[in-house]
Chains A and B, each alone.
Chain A
Amino acid sequence: MIMKNGETHISSFASLGIVLTVLLALTTISVLVTGWHLGPFSVAIALIIASIKVRTVLTYFMHVKFENLFLKLMITGVFVLYALVIIITFIDYYLR
Chain B
Amino acid sequence: MSNSDSGTYVSYLDYEGKHKGLMGWLLTTDHKRIGLMYLYCVIVFFFVAAIIGELMRIELIAPGETIMKPQTYNGMFTIHGIIMIFVIVIPALPAIFGNFFLPILIGAKDVAFPKLNLFSFYLYLIGAIFGVLSQFIGGGAPDTGWTFYVPYSAESSTNVIYALVAAFILGFSSILTGLNFIVTIHRMRAPGMGWFRMPLFPWSLYATAWIQVLATPIVGITLLMVIAERVLKIGFFDPALGGDPVLYQHLFWIYSHPAVYIMILPAMGIVTEIFPTFSQKPVFGYTAILFSSLAIAFIGYFVWGHHMFTAGISYGSRWFFSFLTFLVAIPSAVKVFNWVSTMYGGSIDLKPPLLFAIFFIFLFMIGGFTGLTLGSVATDIQVHDTAFVVAHFHYIIFGGMGFATFAGIHYWFPKMFGRMYNNTLAYTSSIVLFIGFNMLYFPQFILGIQGMPRRYFDYLPQFQTGQVISTIGGFILFAGLLIMVGNLMWHARRGVQAPANPWNGVTLEWQIPSPPPHENFDEIPEITHAPYLFGTGSDNKTI
Binding site for B on A (CB under 8 A): 78, 81-82, 84-85, 88-89, 91-92, 94-96
Contacts of A88 in B (CB 8 A): 302, 305, 317, 320
B204-231 CB contact bits vs A (8 Å, 1 = yes)?
0000000000100010000000000000
Contacts of A84 in B (CB 8 A): 301-302
Of B247, B250, B305, B315, which is in contact with the most chain A CB atoms at under 10 Å from its CB?
Answer: B250
B contact patch SS: helix
Contacts of A81 in B (CB 8 A): 214, 301
Bound together, the chains give a CA A6 to CA B166 distance in angstroms of: 42
B271 interface residue, CB < 8 Å from A?
no
Nearest-CB distance from A6 to chain B (Å)? 15
B430-470 CB contact bits vs A (8 Å, 1 = yes)?
00000000000000000000000000000000000000000
12 more CB-based (< 8 A) A-B contacts, given A78-B214, A92-B316, A95-B316 = A84-B302, A85-B302, A88-B305, A88-B317, A88-B320, A89-B250, A92-B250, A92-B313, A92-B317, A94-B314, A96-B313, A96-B314
Bound together, the chains give a CA A78 to CA B302 distance in angstroms of: 14
Query: Could you name 19 residue pairs across A and B whose Cβ atoms are closer than 8 Å?
Result: A78-B214, A81-B214, A82-B214, A84-B301, A85-B218, A85-B254, A85-B301, A88-B317, A89-B247, A89-B250, A89-B254, A91-B317, A92-B250, A92-B314, A92-B316, A92-B317, A95-B315, A96-B312, A96-B314
Of B312, B313, B317, B320, which is in contact with the most chain A CB atoms at under 10 Å from its CB?
Answer: B317
Contacts of A91 in B (CB 8 A): 314, 316-317
Nearest-CB distance from B217 to chain A (Å)? 10
Number of chain B residues close to chain A: CB under 8 A: 15
A-B contact count (CB 8 A): 34
Top 6 nearest A-B pairs (CB, nearest first) are A95-B314, A92-B317, A96-B314, A95-B316, A89-B250, A92-B314
Contacts of B315 in A (CB 8 A): 95
Binding site for A on B (CB under 8 A): 214, 218, 247, 250, 254, 301-302, 305, 312-317, 320
Nearest-CB distance from A45 to chain B (Å)? 19
Contacts of B313 in A (CB 8 A): 92, 96
Bound together, the chains give a CA A81 to CA B214 distance in angstroms of: 9
Contacts of A78 in B (CB 8 A): 214
